[in-house]
Amino acid sequence: MARRSAQLNTEIAVALAKGSPHPEATVSDWKKRVAEIQKRARTTRDPGQRAILQEEFTAAQAGLRAAQQTMAVKPTYVTGTNLFALKKLIVESGGRPFSNRLHAVDQPHIKRTLDAGLVELRGNNLHLTSAGRTAVADEIISDIEKLNKYQPRENTFVPAEKRAELLAKDVAKHEAELRHLEEALATLHAGS
Protein backbone atom coordinates (compact mmCIF):
# COMPACT_ATOMS: atom_id res chain seq x y z
CA MET A 1 0.00 0.00 0.00
CA ALA A 2 1.38 3.42 -0.99
CA ARG A 3 1.91 6.12 1.60
CA ARG A 4 1.05 9.76 1.12
CA SER A 5 3.75 12.37 1.36
CA ALA A 6 3.46 15.33 3.73
CA GLN A 7 3.30 17.63 0.70
CA LEU A 8 0.33 15.67 -0.73
CA ASN A 9 -1.43 15.79 2.67
CA THR A 10 -0.95 19.57 2.77
CA GLU A 11 -2.19 19.94 -0.81
CA ILE A 12 -5.30 17.87 -0.10
CA ALA A 13 -6.10 19.77 3.11
CA VAL A 14 -5.67 23.16 1.48
CA ALA A 15 -7.70 22.28 -1.64
CA LEU A 16 -10.48 20.78 0.44
CA ALA A 17 -10.61 24.02 2.43
CA LYS A 18 -11.53 25.75 -0.86
CA GLY A 19 -8.11 27.31 -1.21
CA SER A 20 -5.75 26.72 -4.09
CA PRO A 21 -2.43 25.12 -3.06
CA HIS A 22 -0.83 27.33 -5.69
CA PRO A 23 -2.32 30.83 -5.76
CA GLU A 24 -1.19 31.31 -9.35
CA ALA A 25 -2.92 28.09 -10.52
CA THR A 26 -5.49 28.79 -13.22
CA VAL A 27 -8.62 26.90 -14.20
CA SER A 28 -6.75 25.20 -17.03
CA ASP A 29 -4.02 24.08 -14.58
CA TRP A 30 -6.66 22.50 -12.34
CA LYS A 31 -8.36 20.82 -15.32
CA LYS A 32 -5.04 19.31 -16.37
CA ARG A 33 -4.49 18.10 -12.81
CA VAL A 34 -7.95 16.47 -12.69
CA ALA A 35 -7.35 14.77 -16.07
CA GLU A 36 -3.93 13.53 -14.93
CA ILE A 37 -5.40 12.03 -11.75
CA GLN A 38 -8.21 10.36 -13.71
CA LYS A 39 -5.64 8.85 -16.11
CA ARG A 40 -3.54 7.48 -13.22
CA ALA A 41 -6.68 6.09 -11.53
CA ARG A 42 -7.62 4.13 -14.68
CA THR A 43 -4.22 2.40 -14.76
CA THR A 44 -3.92 1.64 -11.03
CA ARG A 45 -5.20 -1.64 -9.60
CA ASP A 46 -4.00 -1.25 -5.99
CA PRO A 47 -6.99 -0.32 -3.73
CA GLY A 48 -4.76 1.73 -1.40
CA GLN A 49 -3.38 3.76 -4.29
CA ARG A 50 -6.90 4.20 -5.65
CA ALA A 51 -8.05 5.62 -2.29
CA ILE A 52 -5.19 8.14 -2.36
CA LEU A 53 -6.03 9.05 -5.96
CA GLN A 54 -9.67 9.51 -4.96
CA GLU A 55 -8.62 12.01 -2.28
CA GLU A 56 -6.31 13.74 -4.77
CA PHE A 57 -9.17 13.88 -7.27
CA THR A 58 -11.51 15.39 -4.66
CA ALA A 59 -8.86 17.96 -3.75
CA ALA A 60 -8.23 18.84 -7.40
CA GLN A 61 -11.95 19.26 -8.03
CA ALA A 62 -12.21 21.56 -5.00
CA GLY A 63 -9.29 23.59 -6.34
CA LEU A 64 -10.94 23.76 -9.76
CA ARG A 65 -14.20 25.00 -8.22
CA ALA A 66 -12.32 27.62 -6.20
CA ALA A 67 -10.46 28.82 -9.31
CA GLN A 68 -13.70 29.02 -11.27
CA GLN A 69 -15.37 31.03 -8.49
CA THR A 70 -12.55 33.56 -8.35
CA MET A 71 -12.77 33.86 -12.12
CA ALA A 72 -16.50 34.61 -11.89
CA VAL A 73 -15.98 37.83 -9.91
CA LYS A 74 -17.30 40.67 -12.01
CA PRO A 75 -15.41 43.91 -12.52
CA THR A 76 -16.62 46.99 -10.67
CA TYR A 77 -15.68 49.60 -13.24
CA VAL A 78 -18.38 51.58 -15.03
CA THR A 79 -18.61 51.94 -18.79
CA GLY A 80 -19.98 54.87 -20.76
CA THR A 81 -23.14 52.90 -21.45
CA ASN A 82 -23.66 52.33 -17.71
CA LEU A 83 -23.25 56.05 -17.03
CA PHE A 84 -25.59 56.90 -19.90
CA ALA A 85 -28.32 54.64 -18.46
CA LEU A 86 -27.85 56.14 -14.98
CA LYS A 87 -27.90 59.70 -16.34
CA LYS A 88 -31.06 58.95 -18.33
CA LEU A 89 -32.83 57.68 -15.21
CA ILE A 90 -31.69 60.66 -13.15
CA VAL A 91 -32.85 63.14 -15.79
CA GLU A 92 -36.20 61.33 -16.10
CA SER A 93 -36.68 61.46 -12.33
CA GLY A 94 -35.73 65.13 -12.25
CA GLY A 95 -32.54 64.56 -10.25
CA ARG A 96 -34.32 62.94 -7.32
CA PRO A 97 -33.98 59.33 -6.08
CA PHE A 98 -35.67 56.87 -8.40
CA SER A 99 -37.51 53.58 -7.95
CA ASN A 100 -35.61 50.32 -8.06
CA ARG A 101 -38.19 49.00 -10.54
CA LEU A 102 -36.32 49.40 -13.80
CA HIS A 103 -36.79 48.48 -17.42
CA ALA A 104 -35.09 45.20 -18.31
CA VAL A 105 -32.72 47.07 -20.62
CA ASP A 106 -31.46 49.31 -17.81
CA GLN A 107 -31.13 46.66 -15.09
CA PRO A 108 -27.62 45.34 -15.88
CA HIS A 109 -26.26 48.86 -16.29
CA ILE A 110 -27.72 50.15 -13.04
CA LYS A 111 -26.61 46.96 -11.25
CA ARG A 112 -23.06 47.66 -12.38
CA THR A 113 -23.26 51.26 -11.10
CA LEU A 114 -24.61 49.84 -7.84
CA ASP A 115 -21.65 47.44 -7.62
CA ALA A 116 -19.25 50.30 -8.38
CA GLY A 117 -20.70 52.43 -5.58
CA LEU A 118 -22.28 55.20 -7.68
CA VAL A 119 -25.77 54.29 -6.47
CA GLU A 120 -27.02 52.86 -3.20
CA LEU A 121 -30.29 51.14 -2.38
CA ARG A 122 -32.37 52.58 0.45
CA GLY A 123 -35.77 50.98 0.85
CA ASN A 124 -37.35 50.79 -2.59
CA ASN A 125 -35.41 53.71 -4.03
CA LEU A 126 -31.97 54.10 -5.51
CA HIS A 127 -30.01 57.11 -4.31
CA LEU A 128 -26.87 58.57 -5.83
CA THR A 129 -23.74 58.51 -3.70
CA SER A 130 -21.39 61.49 -3.77
CA ALA A 131 -19.26 59.74 -6.42
CA GLY A 132 -22.39 58.99 -8.45
CA ARG A 133 -23.61 62.55 -8.09
CA THR A 134 -20.29 63.85 -9.42
CA ALA A 135 -20.20 61.38 -12.35
CA VAL A 136 -23.79 62.08 -13.39
CA ALA A 137 -23.32 65.86 -13.01
CA ASP A 138 -20.26 65.69 -15.28
CA GLU A 139 -22.25 63.73 -17.88
CA ILE A 140 -25.15 66.20 -17.73
CA ILE A 141 -22.76 69.16 -18.06
CA SER A 142 -21.16 67.59 -21.14
CA ASP A 143 -24.63 67.02 -22.63
CA ILE A 144 -25.57 70.65 -21.96
CA GLU A 145 -22.37 71.78 -23.66
CA LYS A 146 -23.15 69.60 -26.70
CA LEU A 147 -26.70 70.95 -26.87
CA ASN A 148 -25.45 74.54 -26.64
CA LYS A 149 -23.17 73.94 -29.63
CA TYR A 150 -26.08 72.63 -31.70
CA GLN A 151 -28.74 75.05 -32.82
CA PRO A 152 -31.67 73.76 -34.88
CA ARG A 153 -31.55 74.93 -38.50
CA GLU A 154 -34.12 75.38 -41.18
CA ASN A 155 -34.82 72.17 -43.08
CA THR A 156 -34.44 72.87 -46.80
CA PHE A 157 -35.83 69.50 -47.85
CA VAL A 158 -39.40 70.46 -46.97
CA PRO A 159 -41.66 72.93 -48.80
CA ALA A 160 -41.01 76.61 -48.00
CA GLU A 161 -44.38 77.10 -46.28
CA LYS A 162 -43.60 74.28 -43.74
CA ARG A 163 -40.02 75.38 -42.96
CA ALA A 164 -40.87 78.01 -40.35
CA GLU A 165 -43.32 75.67 -38.60
CA LEU A 166 -40.79 72.81 -38.43
CA LEU A 167 -38.02 75.14 -37.29
CA ALA A 168 -40.23 76.44 -34.46
CA LYS A 169 -40.99 72.84 -33.37
CA ASP A 170 -37.29 71.91 -33.46
CA VAL A 171 -36.30 75.02 -31.47
CA ALA A 172 -39.00 74.35 -28.85
CA LYS A 173 -37.93 70.70 -28.52
CA HIS A 174 -34.27 71.74 -28.25
CA GLU A 175 -35.01 74.33 -25.57
CA ALA A 176 -37.22 71.91 -23.60
CA GLU A 177 -34.48 69.27 -23.62
CA LEU A 178 -31.90 71.84 -22.50
CA ARG A 179 -34.21 73.11 -19.74
CA HIS A 180 -34.89 69.54 -18.58
CA LEU A 181 -31.15 68.82 -18.27
CA GLU A 182 -30.51 72.09 -16.42
CA GLU A 183 -33.34 71.38 -13.96
CA ALA A 184 -31.95 67.89 -13.25
CA LEU A 185 -28.47 69.37 -12.74
CA ALA A 186 -29.84 72.03 -10.37
CA THR A 187 -31.68 69.36 -8.36
CA LEU A 188 -28.49 67.27 -8.20
CA HIS A 189 -26.48 70.21 -6.89
CA ALA A 190 -29.22 71.11 -4.39
CA GLY A 191 -29.25 67.53 -3.07
CA SER A 192 -25.50 67.44 -2.38
CATH number of the structural domain spanning residue 100: 1.10.10
- Together in a domain, 123 and 186: yes
Range of the domain at 39: 6-71
**1 inside domain:** no
Paired residues of 99 in beta bridges = 125
Question: Is 80 exceeded by the pLDDT of residue 79?
Answer: yes
Q: How many angstroms separate the CA atoms of 66 and 15, rounded? A: 8
**CB neighbours of residue 55 within 10 Å:** 18
Helices (H) and strands (E) in the chain, counts: 7, 3
Q: Are residues 110 and 152 in the same domain?
A: yes
Domain stop point among 22, 50, 71: 71
Is 91:68 a contact under the CB 8 Å cutoff?
A: no
**Domains contained in the chain, number:** 2
36 and 55 co-located in one domain:
yes
Which of 15, 40, 71 delimits the end of a domain? 71
Judgement on whether residues 63 and 86 belong to the same structural domain of the protein: no
- Kindly state whether residues 26 and 93 are assigned to the same domain: no
Using CA atoms, how far apart are residues 24 and 22, in angstroms rounded to an integer? 5
Q: Are both 66 and 110 inside the same structural domain? A: no
Does the pLDDT value for residue 97 go beyond 60? Answer: yes
> What does pTM read for this prediction?
0.56
102 and 172 together in one domain: yes
CA distance to 47, 73, 81, 106, 181, per residue, from 113 (Å): 55, 15, 10, 11, 21
The pLDDT confidence band at residue 172, using thresholds 50, 70 and 90, is very high
Q: Pick the most confident of 19-23, 69-73, 131-135.
A: 131-135
* 137 and 180 housed in the same domain: yes
Is the same domain home to 114 and 66?
no
Higher pLDDT: 60 or 18? It is: 60
Indicate if 120 and 157 belong to the same structural domain.
yes
151 falls within a domain: yes
Domain termination site, one of 17, 48, 71: 71
